Amino acid sequence: MKKILVILGPNLNMVGIREKGVYGAETAESIEAQIKSFAAENGFDCEVYQSNHEGDLIDKIHASREGYSGAVINAGALTHYSYALRDAIACVDIPYIEVHMSNIHAREEFRHKSVIAPVCKGQIAGFGKLSYFLAIDALKELV
């Protein structure tokens, strides 16, 4: 069974608590369980990793080159300014798909630009937790 990684950046552990009008009321733990279940139903072993620390995310991206077929990343606010995350993704030779629960293009101006998009295979935004499922579907075609 192929193994995939889902990386969640800063504040995504607070989904279901913060900004419910943007992210919904469902908890991060519930969504994580559904991601793992959906991945398994689609033939993947799935690890979900969340950190509020940029360096930890970079270390996990570097480690993804060993033992993972592909990855999904919701880098949170780091999406918009972390060239370090961008460079880390560029270092590894597995497909990454950028995901956002909210439609970043319909939000504040600073959220419209993604610095990681150019090194990802694609971007999925605006479908809530379904964004993760769509990304996993895409990985089926890429790995």
Per-residue pLDDT of the chain (143 residues; tens, 9 = 90+): 899 999 999 999 999 887 777 767 789 999 999 999 999 999 999 999 999 999 999 999 999 999 999 999 999 999 999 999 999 999 999 999 999 999 988 888 878 899 999 999 999 999 999 999 999 999 999 99
Note the pLDDT of residue 83.
Answer: 98
Note the pLDDT of residue 63.
Answer: 98
Note the pLDDT of residue 16.
Answer: 83
Beta bridge partners of residue 15, listed in sequence order:
18
Note the pLDDT of residue 48.
Answer: 98
Rounded to the nearest 5 degrees, what angle is found at the Cα of 38, between the Cα atoms of 33 and 40? 95
Note the pLDDT of residue 109.
Answer: 87
Measured CA to CA, the distance from residue 127 to residue 29 in angstroms comes to 18
Q: Name the region of 132 (left: φ>0; alpha: ψ -120 to 50; beta: rest).
A: alpha
- Cα dihedral 38, 33, 134, 97, rounded to 10, equals -120
Note the pLDDT of residue 110.
Answer: 78
Active site positions, annotated: 23, 100
